[in-house]
Structure 1
């Protein structure tokens, strides 16, 4: 397979179990770059063994970490994947065929579709897992990541194109790993709310939980995926409610910020 002047960039922290698969799924990238924030497992050694250049950067938050990664790339066109994501053979072939045209165009970004593997098997009906559209291939002079702690997205004003084939997301190999991520993401989101002085509206919490569950379970068709769909809907609803409860605690008891941060670091949940 030919290579193209493209950088694959992955941000990592203790991703030894998945980084090789991610890197190997993009054989056409002229550069593979890993931005690591202090892994204590074999992530760095495995990434280097699979052809990646590794740069250490202390954790800045998701948006800032991705923007830092952009500055370290050797090429203007960048493909951003998470360590638990990887290209399907179909998408790799589609990119190989279309990259010369795309990279010569004035497009700012390319929208890719993401499919989710959950509890060891692909989701078949749950809509966000069947082809969620995400801007992941972009020209660094025409796009930038939102500078937020969590739930970052790519911002661009110019034209874009959407590809047909999908890349895969191995979504949290186990429920304990999912709950760890929920705790971390909620803490980051609540800190963003705190900086913006968002009003506390605890009375909304029961309704938020109920509406989030109904949206995912029924309107997003999670129920068609059986008990796995129920687990996904319940987890999403719990996350929506927990964020509000944690933010209420932050505002009511500011000392909980420091004690929670210490606990998350002590248990390896935060950096």
Structure 2
């Protein structure tokens, strides 16, 4: 497969178990870049063995880390994947076929459809996990990641066609991984709220939980995926509730910000 003037950019920390699959799924990229934030497993060695150039950068938050990665790429066109994501063979073939024309035009980027693997197999009905459209391919002169510490998004300045075939995402190998991610993501989101001086409104908490559960279980069709769908909706609602409880604690006990950061670092709860 010929190389295209494109960089695959992946941000990592302790992703030795899955980084090879991610990198190997993009054989047409002229450059593979891994921006690592202090892995103490074999992530760096595995990434280099699978053709990646590795740059070390202390963790900045998801948006700033992705913007830093953008500056390190050798090519203007960039494909972003997380370490637990990979291109399906169908999408790899579609990109190889369509990218030359896209990159020669004035498009800002493209949207890719993501298919989620949950508890060992794809979800069939839950809407965010079946063909969810994400901006993951872009020209760095026509796009920029938001500076949010978590739940960042790519802002495209121009048209962005949609590719048909999906890429895959191994969503939280276990519920333990999910709960650890909830702790990390909640901490980052609450730090953003602190910066914005958002009021802590705990009276909203019960309604936030109920509405978040109904949104995912009913309106996003998680109910049709059986008990796996119930677990998806419950963990999403619990995350929405926990963020507000944790933010209330931060506002009322500012010392807890540093104490929690120390605890997360001590137990190496990953990004």
TM over 0.5, shorter chain: yes
**Cα offset, 1:3, TM superposition:** 1.0
Instruction: Tell me how many residue pairs correspond in the alignment.
Output: 271
Corresponding residue SS for 1:166: strand
- Name the counterpart of 2:220: 220
Map 1:5-44 to 2 at 5 A: 5-44=5-44
Corresponding residue SS for 2:131: strand
Map 1:55-66 to 2 at 5 A: 55-66=55-66
**Cα offset, 1:189, TM superposition:** 0.2
Alpha-carbon deviations, 1:129-152, whole Å to 9, x = none?
A: 001110000000000000110001
Distance in 1, Cα, partners of 2:158 & 2:194: 32
**Cα offset, 1:203, TM superposition:** 0.5
Runs of 4+ with >2 A deviation: none
Tell me whether 105-114 or 261-270 shows the greater mean CA deviation.
Answer: 261-270
**Cα offset, 1:157, TM superposition:** 2.0
Corresponding residue SS for 1:160: coil
Distance in 1, Cα, partners of 2:219 & 2:204: 21
- Name the counterpart of 1:181: 181
Distance in 2, Cα, partners of 1:80 & 1:22: 10
Corresponding residue SS for 2:269: coil
Distance in 2, Cα, partners of 1:270 & 1:257: 17
Distance in 1, Cα, partners of 2:39 & 2:233: 31
Distance in 2, Cα, partners of 1:66 & 1:258: 24
- Name the counterpart of 2:153: 153
Unaligned runs of 5+ in 2: none
Distance in 2, Cα, partners of 1:261 & 1:37: 16
Map 1:23-172 to 2 at 5 A: 23-172=23-172
Q: Is the 8 A contact 2:181 2:270 kept in 1?
A: no
**Cα offset, 1:259, TM superposition:** 1.1
**Cα offset, 1:159, TM superposition:** 1.1
**Cα offset, 1:71, TM superposition:** 0.6
**Cα offset, 1:68, TM superposition:** 0.5
Distance in 1, Cα, partners of 2:67 & 2:258: 27
Corresponding residue SS for 2:92: helix
